[in-house]
């Protein structure tokens, strides 16, 4: 990044801190973007090729996500250069050192992201007492185990159906990515009466127009197998999930899977984004034009971060689930009503809602730097 100030605007970033300790090979960056709503929460990402620019952008995304989720937190992000699969002892040394280097930056609360997990957060907590998504044994709420994001998505679907012409009962769903997010949202929607006709993972797609047995699919994944090993269905390529005719399509795998060149293949009525940035803005515009409702990622998949924020406040698991349900239902309704009234994309309505909340929080402050 040539000049950090070329990325700066009236929201932030507030602080960009580079950390370098050659003795142990520590290279990292912390970006605190905006703290008007409260101390920032954002993940610590570990990868060999992370950059300051990526960190700046991800921190801004967290400012909007936390605001949209109605949390008393701003946005921040940290990146650590290194292969997350390095020997565990070396990884522990780096993460503990990174935490110690940021001990005084109370405007940032560590959370897990790509390359880090709850064990890493336990090391941070041990060093500086400022991390979320901790193991249960040290007061954490295991958000992937309880399916916090999938739980939230199921409520987003329920509210979104008020803007569609069909019911959840017997609605056909297709889910791309059957991991922590995908399997739980499938399970919750099945409990509401939906029928999963196709799911996919990195090995391929499994399809049965009469419905797949979600419990059997989850059992397969727990045995470390692919969903394509499910016997009562047709096996297709990974990409084939895009073409499945269904009522609700849920991306829960990778970024940018739907773009302007393949969006015409989606044969559905409602898209609810479980993954982060799974659909490009251009493709979302096409969906909007074609009358396919699409609820954007940072509204729909905020269950995880709400759970983490509730954990930080010392809430119980059931209180966290109740907060996810309440916040996501309210946000979905607000965003979809605005989108309908103003004839704008749900993403644009969501950004405007988040921005309004940040601006209001900033208006209460003398300076936004403390």
Catalytic residues, which ones?
Answer: 77
The yes or no reply on residue 201 touching ligand NAD (CB under 6 A) is yes
Q: Among residues 202 and 318, whose Cβ is nearest to ligand NAD?
A: 202
The yes or no reply on residue 301 touching ligand NAD (CB under 6 A) is yes
Residues 125-144 that bind ligand NAD (CB under 6 A): 143-144
C-beta nearest to ligand NAD: residue:
179
The yes or no reply on residue 180 touching ligand NAD (CB under 6 A) is yes
Question: Which one of the spans 48-56, 167-175, 188-196, 269-277 is the region binding ligand NAD (CB under 6 A)?
Answer: 269-277
195: β partners = 172
Question: Which one of the spans 9-17, 91-99, 246-254, 343-351 is the region binding ligand NAD (CB under 6 A)?
Answer: 246-254
272 vs 71: CA distance, rounded Å: 21
Q: Coil, helix or strand for 351?
A: helix
Question: Which one of the spans 55-63, 162-170, 271-279, 361-369 is the region binding ligand NAD (CB under 6 A)?
Answer: 271-279
Closest CA to 153 of 248, 61, 35: 248
Query: Edge to edge, what strands does the sheet with 195-201 contain?
Result: 234-236, 204-207, 195-201, 172-176, 248-251, 270-272, 293-295
Query: Edge to edge, what strands does the sheet with 108-112 contain?
Result: 15-21, 26-34, 75-81, 40-47, 108-112
From 93, 208, 267, 276, residue interacting with ligand NAD (rule: CB under 6 A): 276
From 34, 154, 187, 200, residue interacting with ligand NAD (rule: CB under 6 A): 200
223 vs 231: CA distance, rounded Å: 15
Q: Among residues 16 and 151, whose Cβ is nearest to ligand NAD?
A: 151
108 vs 55: CA distance, rounded Å: 13
Binding site residues, ligand NAD, CB under 6 A: 143-144, 148-149, 176-182, 200-202, 238, 252-254, 274-276, 301, 304
């Amino acid at each position: 990044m040539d000049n950090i100030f070329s990325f700066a605007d009236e929201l932030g970033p507030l602080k960009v801190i580079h950390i370098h300790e050659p003795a142990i090979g520590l290279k990292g960056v912390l970006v605190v973007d905006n703290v008007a709503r409260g101390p920032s929460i954002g993940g610590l990402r570990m990868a060999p090729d992370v950059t300051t620019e990526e960190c700046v952008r991800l921190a801004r995304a967290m400012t909007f996500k936390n605001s949209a989720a109605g949390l008393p937190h701003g946005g921040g992000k940290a990146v650590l250069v290194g292969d997350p699969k390095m020997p565990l002892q070396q990884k522990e040394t780096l993460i503990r050192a990174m935490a110690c280097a940021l001990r005084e930056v109370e405007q940032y609360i560590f959370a897990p992201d790509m390359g880090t997990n709850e064990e890493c957060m336990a090391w941070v907590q041990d060093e500086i007492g400022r991390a979320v998504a901790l193991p249960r044994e040290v007061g954490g709420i295991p958000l992937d185990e309880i399916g916090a994001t999938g739980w939230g998505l199921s409520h987003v679907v329920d509210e979104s159906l008020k803007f569609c012409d069909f019911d959840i009962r017997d609605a056909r769903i297709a889910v791309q990515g059957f991991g922590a997010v995908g399997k739980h949202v499938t399970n919750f929607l099945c409990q509401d009466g939906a029928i999963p006709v196709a799911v996919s993972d990195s090995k391929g797609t499994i399809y049965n127009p009469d419905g797949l047995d979600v419990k059997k699919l989850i059992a397969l994944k727990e045995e470390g197998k692919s969903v394509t090993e499910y016997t009562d269905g047709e096996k297709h390529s990974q990409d084939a999930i895009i073409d499945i005719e269904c009522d609700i399509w849920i991306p829960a795998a990778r970024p940018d899977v739907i773009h302007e060149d393949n969006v015409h293949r989606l044969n559905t009525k409602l898209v609810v984004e479980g993954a982060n940035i799974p659909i490009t803005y251009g493709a979302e515009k096409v969906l909007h034009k074609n009358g396919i409702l699409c609820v954007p990622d940072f509204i729909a998949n905020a269950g995880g971060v709400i759970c983490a924020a509730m954990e930080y406040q010392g809430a119980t698991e059931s209180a966290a689930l109740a907060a996810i349900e309440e916040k996501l239902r309210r946000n979905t309704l607000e965003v979809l009503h605005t989108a309908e009234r103003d004839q704008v994309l749900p993403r644009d309505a969501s950004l405007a809602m988040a921005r309004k909340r940040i601006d209001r929080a900033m208006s209460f402050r003398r300076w936004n730097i403390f």
